[in-house]
């Protein structure tokens, strides 16, 4: 039975290191072997620093997939598409590979990231690197708890992982979307607490969801809490973390799902709104600067592809 990459459904950590690479020409064979060597490297470090709760995810970019594994493709995998309505936009900056390293120790992440870069070095260029951190009790830098309505327990696995009946070859894999959002903290801080709460749709201090009738149509959770025709919630597993320093700050958004559609529909609903001019007002205070789509294959498939 296929095993998923453990970072996909792991509980939140204190620190993260996100590495985005583009693969050099004629390096596909090298990349397949190098990626297949990574899970053992992660296991060794997880063992050596067992208190750090180290976990990782290796994901293949939509535009690189055909070179990585020409034999078959995850059915819904396609490059992140630029989206824009008026001044609200989500740029596409697709990458060939994404490696997410998370643990409760920034130094351990640094050691592991260095090893990953050393191992891949001959076949890639590092396109972007972002270090994330847990902020207070799991809050985004806007001050709101992020992740409260994430699926929990076994349900998390149901939401995040491709099932046998979806596409058997890719069982226990996961569709991944990332976006690096940059917040306009100065503008956000001009708002009263109640105005901020109306934008999110939850209270700030206690993280309580607004009653349905009080939720503005422009609230972030109104725009992202979507249902299908049978009334079933279209869920994703968010593993986002804040990043930044004194000049640039924001959220590194990370979402896993057994289908790419849920994220696509939520992002569309944020940017395009509900057809009555109600777009997500959080977008007035934050701007996506990157956006990319990947597939994180099962551990077994990563090994099989390299063989
Ligand atoms: C909920 C922050 C981007 C999807 C939330 C919540 C916060 C938040 C504070 C409420 C607590 C929770 O349930 O986690 C942010 C920030 C973002 C961002 C600061 C960017 C700067 C996105 C994007 C998507 C998304 C791009 C998907 C396209 C969701 C979903 C929920 C949620 C599905 C749960 C809604 C519910 O069922 O109540 N987000 N988010 N978020 N967000 Fe975001």
Give a yes or no: residue 292 inside a domain: yes
pLDDT band with cut points at 50, 70 and 90 for residue 301: very high
Tokens 């690197």 appear where?
A: 129
- pLDDT (tens digit per residue) in 97-117: 999 999 999 999 999 999 999
H helices of the chain, in order, are 28-48, 65-68, 106-120, 153-160, 185-188, 193-200, 220-224, 261-272, 299-306
| 88 within domain boundaries | yes
Residue nearest to atom 41 of ligand 1 (CA): 224
Long-range contacts of residues 189-195, Cβ cutoff 8 Å, at least 24 apart: none
ipTM: 0.99
How many domains does the chain contain in total? Answer: 1
Percent of the chain with pLDDT over 90: 100
Is residue 2, in this structure, part of any structural domain at all? no
Q: Any residues with Cβ below 6 Å from ligand 1, and which?
A: 140, 142, 144-149, 179, 181, 200, 202, 220-221, 224-225, 236, 251, 253, 263, 266-267, 270, 286
Q: Is 4 among the domain residues?
A: no
Alpha helices in 59-142 (DSSP H): 65-68, 106-120
Residue 5 lies in a domain: no
Chain segment 142-153, per-residue pLDDT in tens: 999 999 999 999
Which numbered atom of ligand 1 lies nearest the CA of 250? 21
Q: How far is the CA of 88 from the centre of ligand 1 (A)?
A: 17
Residues 187 and 164: their CA atoms lie apart, in Å, by: 47
Q: Whose alpha carbon is nearest atom 39 of ligand 1?
A: 146
210: CATH: 3.30.70.1030
Domain limits for position 186: 15-306
- Contacts of residue 32, defined as CB under 8 A and 6 or more positions apart, other chains included, come to 68, 305, 306
**pLDDT, tens digit, for every residue of 67-98?**
999 999 999 999 999 999 999 999 999 999 99
Which atom of ligand 1 sits closest to the CA of residue 255? 27
- Cα(223) to ligand 1 centroid in Å equals 9
Token digits of residue 211 = 């009653």
Residue 9 lies in a domain: no
């Amino acid at each position: 039975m296929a095993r998923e990459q453990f970072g996909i459904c792991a509980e939140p950590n204190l620190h993260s290191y996100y590495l985005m690479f583009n693969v050099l020409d004629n390096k596909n064979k090298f990349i397949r072997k190098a990626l297949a060597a990574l899970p053992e490297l992660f296991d060794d470090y997880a063992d050596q620093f067992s208190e750090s709760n180290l976990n990782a995810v290796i994901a293949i970019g939509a535009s690189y997939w055909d070179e990585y594994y020409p034999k078959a493709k995850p059915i819904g995998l396609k490059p992140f598409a630029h989206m824009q309505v008026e001044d609200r936009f989500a740029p596409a900056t697709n990458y060939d590979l994404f490696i997410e390293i998370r643990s409760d120790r920034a130094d351990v992440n640094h050691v592991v990231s260095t090893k990953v870069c050393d191992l891949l070095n001959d076949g890639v260029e590092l396109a972007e690197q972002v270090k994330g951190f847990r902020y207070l009790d799991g809050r985004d830098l806007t001050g709101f708890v992020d992740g409260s309505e994430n699926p929990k327990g076994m349900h998390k696995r149901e939401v995040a992982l491709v099932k046998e009946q979806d596409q058997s070859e890719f069982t226990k894999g996961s569709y991944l979307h990332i976006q690096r959002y940059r917040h306009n903290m100065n503008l956000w801080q001009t708002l009263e607490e109640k105005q901020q709460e109306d934008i999110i749709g939850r209270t700030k201090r206690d993280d309580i969801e607004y009653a349905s009738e009080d939720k503005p149509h422009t609230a972030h959770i109104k725009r992202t809490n979507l249902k299908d025709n049978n009334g079933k919630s279209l869920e994703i597993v968010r593993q986002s973390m804040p990043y930044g320093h004194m000049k640039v700050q924001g959220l590194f958004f990370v979402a896993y799902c057994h289908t790419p559609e849920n994220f696509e529909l939520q992002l569309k609903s944020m940017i395009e709104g509900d057809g009555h001019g109600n777009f997500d007002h959080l977008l007035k205070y934050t701007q996506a600067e990157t956006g990319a789509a990947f597939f994180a294959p099962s551990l077994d498939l990563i090994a099989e592809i390299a063989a």
